[in-house]
Amino acid sequence: MNHFSQLLNVCGVNDVGQTEIHTAKPLVLELSAFQFKMAIEKLKRYKSPGIDQIPAEMIKAGGRIIRPEIHQLINSIWNTEELPEE
C-alpha cells in the first residue's frame, strides 16, 4: 500500500482535479486531401446511408467538384469542435 501511495501522490498537489495537462501539439492532425480522397474511394456502394442520409454513391459521383467542399467542412468541424446548424 505504501508503494502505491508514493507512486500516485504528487508532492505539493493536494487536489488532482485542479492539475492541468498541456500538450505541445494536437494529438490528431487535420485530415489531408490525400487521406480524404482515399477514404472516399474506400466507400462501398449500395449501402444504407448514415445519419446524414447521404448515400456513398452521391459522394463518389460528386468527384472533384464536391470533394474539396466536404473536405473543408470536415476540417472546419474538427478545428472548431462544433457542428454547423444545417
Largest CA distance in the chain: 64
Give pLDDT tens digits for 38-71: 999 999 988 899 888 989 999 889 888 888 999 9
What confidence tens digit (pLDDT) does each residue in 4-35 have? 666 676 665 555 555 666 666 666 788 899 99
Between the alpha carbon of residue 65 and those of residues 55, 62, 73, the distances in Å are 17, 6, 14
Residue 76: per-residue pLDDT: 92
- Three-class DSSP category at 68: helix
Domain boundaries, the chain: 30-86
pLDDT at residue 29, rounded to an integer: 81
Please, are residues 40 and 31 in contact by the beta-carbon 8 Å criterion?
Answer: no
Contacts of 73 (CB under 8 A, 6+ apart): 84
pTM of the model: 0.59
The pLDDT of residue 72 is: 94
